[in-house]
Amino acid sequence: MTRINLDTNKVASQSQALLTQIQSAFGMTPNMFKAVSNSPAALQSMWSSFAALGKGRLGAKLGEQIAVAIANANRCEYCLAAHTVLGQAAGATAEEMQAAQRGQSADLKTAAVLAFVLKAVKYRAQVEAGDVNGLRELGLDDEHIVEIMAHVALNVYTNYINIALEVPVDFPKVALV
């Protein structure tokens, strides 16, 4: 049972315009956004971050692979389910999303990014210079690296919202590994 209001008729009017955008984007209003809509500022922050990063240089597919790796590491069933669906919509195969959930990829660059983000999550961003330089050696520049960290921050935020508030999963469930 959720620990927070999910009735969007009971949230501030400032959240309503964003909820309309979210409904349009998903064809439904996911429970996570219903929960976050209790704070118009938090909803604006989250929705804007998703929109900005969705247009970033990493691309939607890698962004979703990052999301499932972090969701699995943080044991967030909601984000794991949602981002698995979104990853497949972004062009990833089911197998690629399953591998990403474990922090793996057949693609060398993707595998390195996933290893980096999992280290950042595990050690609360206490990565070493060699970790960052390893990404550079694979052709990722400072823009990519900052964007990777933005994905880490956004996904940790959404994981914590869903876990702490026990937001009900409204996407096809995916088993944690």
Q: What is the model's pLDDT at position 25?
A: 96
Location of each CATH 1.20.1290.10 domain in the chain: 60-164
- Are 22 and 126 within 8 A, CB to CB? no
Note the pLDDT tens digit of each residue in 9-47.
Answer: 999 999 999 999 999 999 999 999 999 999 999 999 999
Domain 60-164 coded CATH 3.40.47.10: no
For the entire predicted model, the pTM comes to 0.97
- Are 167 and 78 within 8 A, CB to CB? yes
3-state SS record for 98-132:
HHHHCCCCCCHHHHHHHHHHHHHHHCCCCCCHHHH
Note the pLDDT tens digit of each residue in 109-142.
Answer: 999 999 999 999 999 999 999 999 999 999 999 9
Q: What is the model's pLDDT at position 1?
A: 82
CA separation for the pair 117, 1 (Å, rounded): 30
Q: Which two tokens stand for residue 166?
A: 């026990």
Judged against a pLDDT cut of 90, whether residue 88 lies above it is answered with: yes
Cβ atoms < 10 Å from Cβ of 58: 20
Q: What is the model's pLDDT at position 140?
A: 98
How sure is the predictor about 79, in pLDDT bands with cuts at 50, 70 and 90? very high
Task: Report which of 89, 81, 100, 88 is spatially closest to residue 32, judged by C-alpha positions.
Answer: 81
Q: What is the model's pLDDT at position 133?
A: 98
Mean residue pLDDT of the chain comes to 98
Q: What is the model's pLDDT at position 93?
A: 98
